[in-house]
Amino acid sequence: MGRFTISMPIGSSNYFQVNVMNILVILGSPRKKGNSEILARTVVAELEKEPANSVEYLHLSKMKIAPCMGCGGCNKTSECVIKDDMGELYQKVDAADRIFLVTPIYFYGPSAQSKTFIDRFQARWSRKYLLETPFREGEDRKGYLLATAATKGEKVFDGSLLVAKCFFDAINVQYGGSLLVRSVDKAGAIKKRSDEMMRAENFGQDIAAGRI
């Protein structure tokens, strides 16, 4: 299901339009309810204020996702030959209008769960660049990176930003921006950062309003 517009009645004869979005939140942390998940839920809560929107959270750590074998099996079909939970995830990503890639930073990159998931999108890269198959062209689809880091290194997010932009390009989704939070290590530490929690709310509001 893609993004669509429905008309809602006001009184007897007037109508207003609501843009309905299919929102997919990909949680890449192995830690349940960790800082990156708290950040994501704070952002997406602003989009959930529109009851017509559909929101789904996916915990990658709970799924069976094998690493890409680099076998080239998807080159001619755009379908991965590995049979695991990714089969369903490809469909969910294809159907989404807004995608949030959510990850903690490990060794200046995304989590192992996140990277394994992304690497399997070689199949969608093949669809776009080898088979040149048009998919949802011209639709208003956007993807965002939400990431948290324990340290405050100047370049701590650089690797993940490059990976995220490449991922969104492969699935034919416009990169909409990122929300990056440094210096949150212990579980739940981000809740004590009122400035960052406010920033997350504002980020979600901007997305909901179509500003980013």
pLDDT tens digits for range 27-81: 999 998 999 999 999 999 999 999 999 999 999 999 999 999 999 999 999 999 9
State residue 85's pLDDT score: 98
- Confidence (pTM): 0.91
Q: Which of the residues in the chain have pLDDT under 70?
A: 1-18
State residue 20's pLDDT score: 85
Q: For 83-147, give the DSSP string.
A: -STHHHHHHHHHH-SEEEEEEEEETTEE-HHHHHHHHTTHHHHIIIIIS----STT---EEEEEE
State residue 118's pLDDT score: 98
State residue 1's pLDDT score: 42
Q: Is the domain 23-208 a CATH 3.40.50.360 member? A: yes
Q: At what angle do helices 35-47 and 194-208 cross, to 10 degrees?
A: 40
Domain boundaries, the chain: 23-208
